[in-house]
A = this chain, B = another copy of it.
Amino acid sequence: MSRPSGRPVDQLRPVTLTPGFAKYAEGSCLAKFGETHVLCTASVEEKVPPFLRNTGAGWITAEYGMLPRSTHTRTEREAARGKQSGRTQEIQRLIGRSLRAICDLKALGERQIKIDCDVLQADGGTRTASITGSYVALHLALRGLVDQKLIPVLPLRDQVAAVSCGIYNGVPVLDLDYPEDSAAEADANFVLTATGRIVEIQATAEEAPFAEEQFAELLKLARKGIAELARLQRAAVGLGGL
């Protein structure tokens, strides 16, 4: 079997994480996974949703969108349609949960970080690129709070990154691009920490149910990819030596 891109089965696309890409945001990162480009920003707000008022705890939430012509053929603009699709809502809920899982919300204090992930160009894997880049944006925004002495230390317990894997032509492969994604028999999104723990797994049979052994293969590939992504994240936030 050969992949459309010619990559080995366990190779990520070229990934770059550019910190500070957005001029005004408290934290930001342009995440590129090959031709998939996502601009992630983190905005700090000094108030929390109603259910957290007076609890001392903070919150992290996320929104996701695609530019209409980020895709091969134009996608309808959600603002013009008047509502976000089910897919958009699923993705933004996933991003928020993933980041909250590695943040100490008590230590964050009663403030909210709003993550925005906007897809400038889409070639598969936009949700996993969003999570991976958002971690960098979040880290930088939190460091700003430390620098301003609003919190004493970074309220992060771990790093989180994400990657998709799938079964393409019967073979498990890492980091699906669009041609693979649209033809895969199954695909799975893995959100893992740098220390190898599971934050979220979403595995879906696209055409036919698949075997547990295949799932185990996908998880193994994901571990390899996440280790590489975590290294790139550390470099992006200036902790290359970790």
Q: Which residues of A are at the interface with B, using a C-beta cutoff of 8 A?
A: 22-25, 28, 35, 39, 41, 43, 45, 63, 65, 67-74, 77-84, 86-90, 92-93, 97, 101-102, 114, 116, 118, 120-121, 157-158, 160, 186, 188, 192-193, 195-205, 207-212, 214-215, 219
Q: Please, which residues of chain B bring their CB within 8 A of the CB of A35?
A: 23
A186 to B25 CA separation, bound complex (whole angstroms): 29
Most B C-beta atoms less than 10 A away, residue of A25, A28, A73: A25
> In the complex, which of the residues A24, A79, A92, A186 has the most CB atoms of chain B within 10 Å of its own CB atom?
A79
Contact of A72 among B24, B73, B93, B118 (CB under 8 A): B24
Tell me the minimal C-beta distance from A155 to chain B in angstroms.
Answer: 14
Is the Cβ of B203 less than 8 Å from the Cβ of A198?
yes
Q: Is the CB of B101 within 8 A of A205?
A: yes
Determine if B80 and A63 form an interchain contact, defined as CB atoms under 8 angstroms apart.
yes
- Oligomer copy total: 6
The smallest beta-carbon distance between A64 and chain B, in angstroms, is 9
Taking CB atoms, residues of chain B closer than 8 Å to A102 are 209
